Amino acid sequence: MLGRAFQFEWRIALMTAILLPLFIALGIWQTGRAQQNRELIEVSAEKRNQVPVPFEHLLQQGLLQDMVEGHRDRWRLAQVEIRGKWLDQFFLLENQIHNGKSGYFVIGVIRLSDGAHVLVNRGWILAPALRSELPAAPAPSATEIEFGELYLADFLYLSDGIFAENHWPKRIGKMNIAGLSRELGIDVIPVMVRLREKSPSALTVDWPVVNIAPEKNIAYAIQWFAMAVALLACYIALSFRRKEAVEDKVKN
């Protein structure tokens, strides 16, 4: 730079040495997340286009054994049809947001023909204006067949409390299979089914596959890389000073 000379300033150099790799690493991480989310969306689209399989067939294929052993990836989003009857008891999972509005997930239980029980998320329902009021969830369909997909999120297999109220329907602050089973007083199959649009008892069932769209991951990555470039530019600008200023500093 004409009329300027490099002046090493250890504090500026240290800050740059710490932050520059961090910004670059975060940008790379976001691009990796974008690719992972694209792959998840593609896989889920393929699974959701499959013909639903009777739930009993999955049990015959080793579903329960895989759940016990923690081998859940094979079964995620498997499309199923369930034949059985709804129990009267159901849960309302609060603080669920849909299109910017607060509501509840309505989680019921279906008793299969062999007496086993399956937890079923019927979908989202709008919350009343006052928290002291509970939403009036429509009764499930009288038909004995529902269509859904297996939802096997890792948090469902925790065993901590779910903050359930005493009366039915029970409002809960969070959910896991063990906690719901305790509140029901019955053993349930260690999976949860989320109803799909064509199911008779489905409410609002716009189930997202990923929390953040790949496009947003890329936008975040660009921001981190831009911050890295800006940081480097600031370091260069602050490190190159006018020769007169550098000479005066040396003399002093």
Based on the fold, state whether residues 156 and 184 are members of the same structural domain.
yes
Based on the fold, state whether residues 84 and 164 are members of the same structural domain.
yes
Residues 6+ apart with CB under 8 A from 81: 52, 53, 54, 55, 145, 146, 147, 148
Side-chain-facing half-sphere of 165: CA atoms under 13 Å: 15
Number of compact structural domains in the chain: 2
Based on the fold, state whether residues 182 and 227 are members of the same structural domain.
no
More confident call, 8 vs 244: 8
pLDDT score for 162: 85
Determine, yes or no, domain membership for 68: no
Determine, yes or no, domain membership for 26: yes
Determine, yes or no, domain membership for 70: no
Rounded mean pLDDT, 150-175: 89
Q: What is the pLDDT of residues 198-252, one digit of tens each?
A: 999 999 998 877 777 888 899 999 999 999 999 999 888 887 765 554 455 544 4
Q: What is the pLDDT of residues 70-125, one digit of tens each?
A: 788 888 889 999 999 999 999 999 999 998 999 999 999 999 988 999 999 999 99
Based on the fold, state whether residues 36 and 92 are members of the same structural domain.
no
Rounded mean pLDDT, 40-69: 85
Q: Are strands 170-172 and 79-98 parallel, antiparallel or unpaired?
A: parallel
Per the structure, the complete domain to which residue 34 belongs is given by 4-41+213-251
Based on the fold, state whether residues 94 and 177 are members of the same structural domain.
yes
More confident call, 214 vs 126: 126
Q: Tokens standing for 145? A: 């067949």
Based on the fold, state whether residues 20 and 88 are members of the same structural domain.
no
Based on the fold, state whether residues 82 and 182 are members of the same structural domain.
yes
Chain centre distance of CA 94: 16
Based on the fold, state whether residues 113 and 143 are members of the same structural domain.
yes
Least confident window among 23-32, 44-53, 75-84, 172-181: 44-53
Based on the fold, state whether residues 188 and 90 are members of the same structural domain.
yes
pLDDT score for 1: 45
pLDDT score for 4: 67
Least confident window among 68-77, 120-129, 140-149: 68-77
